[in-house]
Amino acid sequence: MLRADPVTDWGNVNIDALRAHLVDMNALVLSGAVETEQRPNGLAMRVSLTGPAGDAARRMVPAHGPVLAAETGWTSDVEFGVEALLWTVTDPVGKYASQIQALGFFGLMATGDHHRAHHIAIARGETTH
């Protein structure tokens, strides 16, 4: 895609940054420790901040939350503690509470139509989120 785009600025391309993000994704999905609690209009998720998965969560969840909220109309609140972060996603109307609960942490992290563009932007060396 980068080679096919005549406006690619090769001086800014940063494939290593994309790789680092993909490593974060891998760590979060394969090793992330998450405890969930259903809320009337959604879900509260306690995500451990321990190890590489915790480092990935520290970077990714606060960045993804506002994008998820903008794309869905749901609320997304992230609070940091010493050992964990608390991510609460709710539907203000309550219509999609069961969807939020069924998706859970990993499904919510994968929700949205921005991921492809986000990864291309990282590869281009652009600031994302």
Note the pLDDT of residue 128: 67
Q: Predicted confidence band at 126 (pLDDT cuts at 50, 70, 90)? A: confident
Residue 122 scores a pLDDT above 90 = no
AA letter at 124:
R
Residue 15 scores a pLDDT above 70 = yes
Average pLDDT, the chain: 93
AA letter at 109:
M
Note the pLDDT of residue 115: 72
User: CB within 8 A of 128, min separation 6: which ones?
Assistant: 63, 118, 121, 122
Query: How many other C-beta atoms can be found within 10 angstroms of the C-beta atom of residue 105?
Result: 21
Mean pLDDT of 76-98: 97
CATH, domain range 34-117? 3.30.1360
Residue 17 scores a pLDDT above 80 = yes
Note the pLDDT of residue 129: 61
- pTM for the whole structure: 0.87
Tokens matching residue 57: 């969560």
